[in-house]
Amino acid sequence: MVAEIRASTVLPARREDIELHTTDGLTLVGEVASPEGRPPAATLICLHPLPTHGGMMDSHVLRKASYRLPALADLAVLRFNTRGTTSDRGTSEGAFGDGEDERLDVAAALEYAEFHELPRPWLVGWSFGTELALKWGRDPLVEGAILLSPPLRRASDADLDAWAEFGRPLVALVPEHDDYLRPEEARKRFARVPQAEVVGVDGAKHLWVGEPYVRIVLDEIVKRVNPAAGPLPTQV
């Protein structure tokens, strides 16, 4: 029987609650969703939107990535709550650090991926999470980063220059109607990163509300991280 993939669709995966441990002594809560019965082709490490405005590991695009991409694209999806952030999974210890203290949270996620042999990690940041990726994601383990709705507020031109020197792929998905940074300005800002690609998404807004926009985001992620698995099916 064929069924359409909907906003609430949860496809089979091996799902494991995890804890990350930061070097300043905090425990962060999270989850890894992996393909059933086979090793992942690559790993997404998800960095969520601003927790002071409701961002968390269950923010809808990241949650839907974990629901679909292990089954459809052979990807492992690691999501976690940064310090002081709460979701259904629980609350991570510590307090919001305005993107600075969170450098230790990013490091803890990368350390977990390395220790558990999660292959080919890519960072997927959304809004505030894009700032964390740009500022703190330049680790030799990281294969590249995909930025959803990057505001480029906490991340500076110096961070962009450092990513240019880092040399790893950088893809920015920028909504046409974003509240902070729109495609034309984004192309100017990211021009200082030679390997950066800015993808403007017609009709989209900062929060990517609506199933058509979620599908665009997930397809663009898969196109970069495991292109053999795309384009993603709309039915299963």
Residue 6 lies in a domain: no
For the chain, the domain total comes to 1
- The model's confidence at residue 2, banded by pLDDT at 50, 70 and 90, is confident
- Asked whether the predicted pLDDT for residue 170 surpasses 90, the reply is yes
Residue 234 lies in a domain: no
Residue 37 lies in a domain: yes
Rounded mean pLDDT of 97-112?
98
Position 49 scores a pLDDT of 98
- pLDDT per residue over 195-212, tens digit each? 999 999 999 999 999 999
* Structural domain that includes position 121: 14-229
Position 171 scores a pLDDT of 98
- The model's confidence at residue 213, banded by pLDDT at 50, 70 and 90, is very high
Residue 7 lies in a domain: no
Radius of gyration for the alpha carbons in the chain, expressed in angstroms and rounded: 16
Q: How many helices (H) and strands (E) does the chain have?
A: 6, 10
- Asked whether the predicted pLDDT for residue 37 surpasses 90, the reply is yes
Rounded mean pLDDT of 41-51?
98
- Asked whether the predicted pLDDT for residue 101 surpasses 90, the reply is yes
Position 139 scores a pLDDT of 98
Residue 221 lies in a domain: yes
Q: What is the DSSP string of 112-179?
A: HHHHTT--SEEEEEETHHHHHHHHH---TT--EEEEES---SSS-HHHHHHHHHH---EEEEEETT-S
Residue 54 lies in a domain: yes
Residue 190 lies in a domain: yes
Position 209 scores a pLDDT of 97
- Average pLDDT over all residues of the chain: 98
Position 100 scores a pLDDT of 98
Rounded mean pLDDT of 17-46?
98
Position 163 scores a pLDDT of 98
CATH of the domain at 169: 3.40.50.1820
- The model's confidence at residue 38, banded by pLDDT at 50, 70 and 90, is very high
| 56: Cα within 13 Å, side-chain hemisphere | 16
Position 1 scores a pLDDT of 78
Residue 3 lies in a domain: no
Rounded mean pLDDT of 108-128?
98
Tokens of 129: 């999470």
Position 164 scores a pLDDT of 98
In this prediction, what percent of the chain has a pLDDT beyond 90?
Answer: 99
| Residue labelled with tokens 């059933």 | 36
Position 24 scores a pLDDT of 98
